[in-house]
Amino acid sequence: MFRPKLFGKKIEPNCIYCQHGKAAPGEQMILCIKKGVVSPYYSCKKFLYDPLKREPRPRPPKPRFSPEDFSL
């Protein structure tokens, strides 16, 4: 059975989303188990995508309605 990918079919490999990477204090660099300290946008052959490391986009603001919008 086909299951669609959570964030699309084309995911660019970045250490930010890798299962082996962990954000360093200050979030300037990534601590990788395989390669050591690397840039967040670095990728290597050992890249394993972890969808739980993605931050969801913020929701758009809800529109504000007035009582006039609901009157006939």
In a domain, 21, yes or no: yes
Label residue 52 by pLDDT band (50, 70, 90). Answer: confident
Can you give the pLDDT at residue 45? 86
Structural domain harbouring 23: 11-47
In a domain, 18, yes or no: yes
pLDDT over 60 (residue 4): no
In a domain, 6, yes or no: no
How many domains does the structure of the chain reveal? 1
In a domain, 34, yes or no: yes
User: Rounded to two decimals, what is the model's pTM?
Assistant: 0.58
β-pairing verdict for 30-32 and 21-23 = antiparallel
In a domain, 70, yes or no: no
In a domain, 40, yes or no: yes
